[in-house]
């Protein structure tokens, strides 16, 4: 399978997982990364959904080890891009002085936009996950 096609499929799947994570958080409607991570399940839910979405025999071909690396990288990159930080103990915290327009509210906007149009993936997010040095390359 052509790498670009593989990358696009992985990207779409992972961003749909982001939407899934957002819906899991929706019941208590967190206002920050601190609140989103308070229940302690955000990372685990993301990992589980990401791994299930990228199973062997699908349109993409990642080994178990590659999936684990890809999913962990994607989680950390998305959280950090949107003004959060994954601490060594697995807790998620807001970063003081996050770039305007790249905070938890912007993450929630992305999640909402992807629900409306899953194909409308911002180019910076696409590059972060599938571009040179991105998560897909790190996993391969």
What pTM, to 2 d.p., does this model score?
0.77
pLDDT reading at 3 higher than 70: no
Mean pLDDT on 8-27: 53
Phi, psi (deg, nearest 5) at residue 118: -60, -20
Whether residue 79 contacts residue 85, with contact meaning beta carbons closer than 8 Å, is answered with yes
Q: How confident is the model at residue 1 (pLDDT cuts 50, 70, 90)?
A: very low
Here the tokens at position 40 are: 């302690």
Q: How many angstroms separate the CA atoms of 56 and 58, rounded?
A: 6
pLDDT reading at 5 higher than 50: no
Question: Could you read off the pLDDT of 97-117 as tens digits, one per residue?
Answer: 888 889 888 888 887 787 777
pLDDT in the model for residue 22: 58
Q: Which residues, listed in sequence order, are joined to residue 85 by a DSSP beta bridge?
A: 93
pLDDT in the model for residue 9: 46
How big is the chain by its Cα radius of gyration, in Å? 14
Question: Could you read off the pLDDT of 47-96 as tens digits, one per residue?
Answer: 877 777 666 555 557 788 988 898 888 888 888 999 999 888 878 889 88
Neighbours of 131 (CB within 10 A): 16
Ranges of H-type helices in the chain:
3-25, 33-37, 42-53, 64-81, 104-116, 123-130, 135-139
pLDDT in the model for residue 56: 56
Counting beta carbons within 10 angstroms of the beta carbon of residue 57, is it exposed (0 to 12), middle (13 to 18) or buried (19 or more)? exposed
């Amino acid at each position: 399978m052509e790498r670009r096609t593989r990358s696009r499929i992985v990207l779409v799947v992972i961003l749909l997982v982001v939407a899934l994570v957002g819906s899991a958080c929706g019941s208590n409607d967190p206002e920050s990364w601190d609140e989103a991570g308070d229940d302690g399940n955000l990372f685990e839910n993301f990992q589980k959904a990401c791994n299930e979405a990228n199973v062997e025999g699908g349109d993409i071909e990642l080994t178990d080890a590659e999936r684990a690396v890809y999913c962990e990288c994607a989680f950390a990159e998305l959280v950090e891009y949107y003004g959060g930080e994954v601490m060594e103990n697995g807790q998620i915290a807001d970063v003081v002085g996050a770039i305007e327009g790249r905070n938890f509210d912007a993450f929630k906007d992305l999640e909402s936009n992807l629900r409306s149009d899953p194909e409308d993936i911002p180019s910076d997010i696409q590059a972060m996950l599938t571009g040179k040095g991105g998560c897909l390359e790190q996993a391969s």
